């Protein structure tokens, strides 16, 4: 019985083994050749601190920033964030938003200005509710 098994199964086992070897060896060889062919091509280096885009570089600072009212804008933002999220969380979120801008090589003053522009509608809406 063992000899019949060897006569009928071993040829198939050999073919199956060859098939799986080829299935893994050929793509591996192709990828190796491709990798060696790309050795001279330099990849573009990407970092977290990407340089500013041309649009960000040419953006004019607002009048409030030009007049040196960064402290005033920061105070308004802090008041808005504290009212919205509470004292500790509001300060944390504002600092996080400022950090998100400054890590892209934007000054603190410009970061405060940009955040104020984004939240200006909400801040003014809150001020008008307070006046009523």
Q: For 5-38, what is each residue's pLDDT tens digit? A: 777 777 777 788 888 888 888 888 888 888 888 7
Q: Are residues 30 and 74 in the same domain?
A: no
Q: Are residues 86 and 127 in the same domain?
A: yes
Q: Are residues 66 and 120 in the same domain?
A: yes
Counting the structural domains of the chain, the total is 2
Q: Are residues 66 and 127 in the same domain?
A: yes
Q: Are residues 68 and 12 in the same domain?
A: no
Q: Are residues 34 and 74 in the same domain?
A: no
The answer as to whether 38 is a domain residue is: yes
Question: Helix 87-102 and helix 108-131: axis angle, to 10°?
Answer: 140
CA distance 126 to 101: 24
Domain around 99: 62-131
Owner of token pair 């000054």:
107
Q: Are residues 21 and 77 in the same domain?
A: no
The answer as to whether 82 is a domain residue is: yes
Q: Each residue of 59-113: pLDDT tens digit?
A: 555 544 554 588 888 888 888 899 888 988 999 999 999 999 888 888 889 998 8
């Amino acid at each position: 019985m063992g000899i019949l098994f060897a006569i009928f199964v071993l040829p198939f086992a050999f073919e199956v083994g060859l098939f799986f070897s080829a299935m893994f060896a050929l793509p591996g060889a192709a990828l190796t050749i491709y990798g060696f062919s790309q050795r001279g091509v330099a990849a573009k280096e990407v970092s977290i601190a990407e340089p500013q885009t041309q649009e960000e570089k040419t953006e004019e600072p607002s009048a409030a920033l030009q007049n040196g009212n960064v402290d005033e804008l920061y105070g308004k933002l802090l008041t808005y964030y504290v009212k919205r999220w509470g004292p500790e969380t509001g300060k944390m979120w504002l600092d996080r938003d400022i950090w998100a801008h400054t890590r892209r090589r934007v000054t603190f003053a410009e970061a405060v200005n940009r955040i104020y522009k984004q939240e200006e509608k909400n801040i003014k809406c809150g001020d008008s509710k307070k006046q009523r």
